[in-house]
Structure formats: structure tokens, C-alpha cells
Structure 1
Amino acid sequence: MRFGVKVWTALGATVLLGGAATIYTLDAMAGNPTRARPDVTVAVDHSGPPDLLEPGRLLFRTTAPGPDHGKVASVALADPGGPRRISQLACDRFHTEAGTGVCLATAPGLMPSAVALRVDERLRETERVEVAGIPSRAKLSAGGRMATWTTFVTGDSYTQGTGFSTRTAILDRRDGAYLSNIEGIPLTVDGRPYQAEDVNVWGAGFTADGSRFYATVSTAGRTHLLEGDYDAWTARTLAENAECPSLSPDGRRLAIKKRVSDDAARPWREYVLDLETLRETPLAETRSVDDQVVWLDEHTVAYELPRDGGSDIWAVPADGSGAPRLLVPWGSSPSVTSRGP
């Protein structure tokens, strides 16, 4: 039986959208050249605000230093380095599917907290929920029915060694059912029923029909790939050392990150997991990717990598071939508008 179910009330608040200068430049901070802010030049498209129903657009949050930092923007997928349309909606994580979006943003206040916003095709707020913790992940299912997000929180008794735990929520758009924390789902680990105080679940993502989801579960110092059945409300582990799964458009593969090193600077590598055979293919990106990647299409995944003063969005083939390429400078949290319900 599901727990913590309540209706997410629609508030219908409008988010005002606006433009900026056609090109703006941020100069390096004077007086401390070793800590200077990088020069940034960004071309802005003033033809209108981002539109989640327009096909062929790449949505992301801009990470360029300056007044637009964190705001949701879009570029043409065919020209991702070109002029960007910038909204006034600021998020820590953003994802779009089927003409709707979910925005997870830090909330003001003394204690770490966040707000999850559902937005329409013009990035106007339609629903919101207050969330404890620091924003980490946010996803919509293909078709936009299921929304899920993760925050990191402190204060649980079992976190003395790690310092944090997670809260992963699920919102079912079809009936408004909301689960604020899914850690209590009946869980099978390595084929056996499992219960423990230190179970943490994060980085969830749903199939298009909302019947199945994948996530990371951590317990007893190990991480596993979790497969959950939303309707039966049960979950099981499929593999060890597999985190932040992202389901391919055809529903047959998962992009995952695996811990491959104890080196704190390069602990992760991206793989693609075949769900039928559980065969893993390492991707050509050898830099450490600490992200829940997205699929641009059946053949390509995109992800963010940090840079001085912000982050960039990169892309790499999903079959292990090729080489990484810079997709969007000064961006993070990418998703595309090209797939409909």
C-alpha cells in the first residue's frame, strides 16, 4: 500500500518571461587575477520566450555568471551553440517532456529546503510543492505523466558517517497522487526481501506508461540499480554499482554511472546497460560524469561537466563509439522538446 499520498494543489501562478540584450559580456573581476571570473559572451534570441511545445529545441539552465545564472533557456537542437532564449524561471534542475516541465529550485530560508514546480508550455507555474533538502535530481516520464525529484537532507540518525540522506518523491499527474518519500517501498535485494534503516533511494525515472521506474538504492555501503513496479508497489535490485539511471526512448537501455576509481577527482564513468541482457557498454567519455544524463535521441546522451565558474553540456554516442563533443557552453540540466506524448 502506498504511503504519504496527497493531492498537489494547482496554484496557477504565472511566471513572467522576459528577454535580455542581444549579446551581453561579463568582464573578469578586477583586483584578483587568480580568482577572476571568466569572460562570458552569450548571444540571446529575442524572438520570444522558450516554448516547450516547439519541436527541435534543447532546454537547459544557463550557468553563465551574471544576472541570468540558473534561468531556464532554450536553443535550437540543430544549432546548440547559437542564440538562446532566456526565461525568468530559475531552477537548480529542470526537465521537460510533452509540453510540460518540472523545475526543482532552492527555496529561501535558514534551513535547506526546495520547491518543485510544474510548469506549462510557456514555463508558467501551474503546481507547486514545498520540499525539504537540497535539490539534486528531477525527471518527467515520456508523455509527462510522472514527475519525480530527489533532494539531499541531513539529520537522520544513520547519517553520522555519511552526513546526508535522500528524499525521492513521485507525483502522478493522472490522479494527483503524491508520495513525498519512496524509501518505504517493499524491497528485494539480491533476490531476498530486505529492510534496513539506512536505505536511500535517488535519481528515479519512469517508463512512458508510468508502470515501472528505475532508481539508485544505497544501503550497507553498497549501491544498486533498482527496478520498481509503481502499480504493485514493489521494487527489486537488478545490478550493483549502477547509479542515476536514465531510460532510453525505446525503453530498452539505461544510461548509468558506475564508480570506477577511488580517486576523488575521477570516480565515475558513464555506461549504457542493456535491460534484456544486462550487458554494460562503457561510453567514450572518460572524464568523471556526476549527473543523471538525458537521451537526446536513440543514439546520443547528453550530460553536464563542471568548468571554471559554471558548467557545460556535452554529448557522446550511446554505443561506446565516437568521442565527446561540446554541445552547449555554460549550461546544465538539458532536455529536449522533440518527443511528444
Structure 2
Amino acid sequence: MNSLPTRARIAVTAVAALALAGVAVGYTALSAAPEADIASGVVSGPRLQVLSNGKLSTVSRTDPSGPREVTDQRCDRAYTAGGTTACLRPVGALKSGELAVLDSSLRELRTVPMTGFPNRARVSASGRMVAWTLFVDGHSYAANGFSTSTGILDTETGTLVQSLEDFASIVDGEQVRTVDRNYWGVTFADDNRFYATMSTGGHRYLMEGDFAARTVRALADNVECPSLSPDGKRIAYKAAVNGDPQQGWRLSTLDLATMKTTPLAETRSVDDQPTWLDDHTIAYGMQRGDGVNDVWVVPADATGAPSVLVQEANSPAPVIG
């Protein structure tokens, strides 16, 4: 359960939707280049999906600074895999947000109403499973008392889990039933197994989930917004500096076989769920001083240095096939 009763959370969210809608819209507008500055064209070959000015767009992996193919689909957060795109649509002053599930032609397959502010989205490699995270109360992982809602949709069966708080949470072999549990940042291993972050009692855990069994169990401490590598061997994540999110986060990787952590060459605070472009390269969004986001990349082995991949864009996802 969240720290607020259900009715109280709904009331808080309704008020917040009106008060913060301008903030959400402003963030979308600042998250990418003005459309007039984007050269439009058809992108071929290996591609990367990004949000440009809040619109689903694609760029060439070999020429990411070249022409962008910009669509009319507006999202606050998006991800694509296996021919399925998850688009968390913006909250408006007079409308709540929603999850839109789109096919490879961006045809709408299903929508799910959302109560909260879009924050994270992921799709399993097959395109079957879709996950999302919303802020229900608060809007920063560094804040005290924030509340999130994280759910998963099985697009094949239609099974909808509105909140991972309904799953049995196991830490050190014991089920945790505390009311302060929050989940965020799902990443899929397959169409049943997944990883996510759970916070409770001042700890933030990497949890391994079993969708069919409705269970999640703790694997490690201080792992936030996990992202599983394509080969399934490592987790990229943000680690709170000295275990304190108010000091910022260090982009790191976790070897699932040895549980060894490796801080990466990006030493700035990264408040994003990273994306693996391949087994060697990690992409993530970084906000500049003027409020505009860029997509950056850094090697996954702690060598090299971070560099800008796509200017004035965010929410990167490799397009396979």
C-alpha cells in the first residue's frame, strides 16, 4: 500500500493534477528541440527512438545528429521493444494521463487511464509486457514522503496489475507488509521475470519479480531505476551517493553473477532510468542548466567518458528490427 489511504491519494492527485499540469507540460516542452529546428526525414537502418519536443521520434544510430522522423504521438515518457511502444501521455489541466499501447505502425491497441504524473516506462523484449511508474504524491526520488504507483500490463492476456504493492514482498526471507512500500523503475528479463526498485524503512532495494507468482524478492541494497543488459548479465542503475539520494546519484552497473558494483565514468548526478543500446553502451537523459534535456551515452565498463548522443531529446530506446 502507499503511505496515503486510497481516497486521500485520489484527492491529493486531483488537486496536484490542476496545480502541476503546467509543470508537466513545461517539462515536455523543454525536453527536446523546437520542431522548427528538427530536420524531418525518413530514418533507415538501425534506429533510436527518442522524444523530441514531447513527440515520438526516431534518429539514425549511425547518424544521431542527422534528420529526425517526428510523429504526432505526444508522450511524457516512452519506450519501445518487440514492435510495441508504451507511451505515457501527458496530464492536462482538464484531463488525467493515460498509458497508450501502440503497435509498430503506432496504431493504438489499448489505453489505460492513469492517476499520477508519468515517470518511467518499459516494454519486454518480445513486446508483450508493458510497465510504467507514476508519481502519485511528490515529484522527486530525492524528496521525503514521495509516493509512486507502478503497474504491469500483459498485452496478450489483458491481465492488468495496477500496483506492484499487491505482490508479496520478500526481504531476507520474510514478507514485508509495511505501508511505506513504494516501487518504481521496472525492467524485464522476459515475459514473466522482471526487476524493480522497492523502498521501505529508509532502504531502497533491487527486487526480482515473478509476475505469475505475484512475488518480488530483494537482491541488493541501494539500486534504483534498474535496466537489464541485453545479455541479461548486468543491471545498469543509479546509486544514491553515500546511500543518500539528496546527495545525488552515480550511474553504476551490477554484475548479477558476482553482485559486484562498478561506478561508470559519468560522475554527474543522473536521475534517470538508463537504457542499454547494446551490451557495451548505456544511454540516459541529462537536463542542462536551461532545462533542456540531451541524450548522453557512456561505456558500460567504466572506461572512456560520457558524450552527447542526441541533442535536445530524452527517453531513448533502441529500435530492434
Under a length normalisation based on structure 1, what TM-score does the superposition of the two structures give? 0.78
Change (3 A) 1:75 1:226: same
Separation in 1 of the partners of 2:39 and 2:158? 37
Separation in 2 of the partners of 1:207 and 1:302? 19
Question: What's the CA shift for 1:202?
Answer: 0.7
Among 46, 49, 59, which residue is 1:56 paired with? 46
| Aligned: 1:44 with 2:39 | yes
Please list the CA deviations of residues 215-271 of structure 1 after superposition, one character each: whole Å capped at 9, or x if unmatched.
Answer: 00001121111111112221111111110000110111110110015584x510111
Gaps of 5+ in 2: 1-32
Instruction: Report what 1:269 is aligned to.
Output: 250
**Letter of the 1:151 counterpart:** L
Among 100, 108, 116, which residue is 1:117 paired with? 100
Report how many residues are paired: 283
Question: What's the CA shift for 1:204?
Answer: 0.8
**Letter of the 2:317 counterpart:** S
Separation in 2 of the partners of 1:118 and 1:104? 9
- Report the aligned-residue RMSD: 2.1
Among 167, 171, 174, which residue is 1:185 paired with? 167
Among 275, 283, 299, which residue is 1:317 paired with? 299
Quick check: which one's helix share is greater? 2
Question: What's the CA shift for 1:191?
Answer: 2.7
Alignment of 1:262-301 (within 5 A): 264=246, 267-301=248-282
Question: What's the CA shift for 1:105?
Answer: 1.7
**Letter of the 1:80 counterpart:** P
| Aligned: 1:135 with 2:118 | yes
Instruction: Report what 2:63 is aligned to.
Output: 79
Change (3 A) 1:193 1:309: closer
Question: Which protein is bigger by CA-based radius of gyration?
Answer: 1
Contact 1:55 1:337 in 2 (8 A): no
Identity score, percent: 46
Among 119, 131, 148, which residue is 1:148 paired with? 131
Contact 1:42 1:83 in 2 (8 A): no
Separation in 1 of the partners of 2:220 and 2:297? 25
Question: What's the CA shift for 1:211?
Answer: 1.9
Separation in 2 of the partners of 1:244 and 1:170? 15
Question: What's the CA shift for 1:107?
Answer: 2.8
Instruction: Report what 2:6 is aligned to.
Output: none
Separation in 1 of the partners of 2:319 and 2:120? 19
Under a length normalisation based on structure 2, what TM-score does the superposition of the two structures give? 0.83
Change (3 A) 1:337 1:55: farther
**Letter of the 2:177 counterpart:** Q
Contact 2:193 2:211 in 1 (8 A): yes
Separation in 1 of the partners of 2:173 and 2:296? 37
**Letter of the 2:266 counterpart:** E
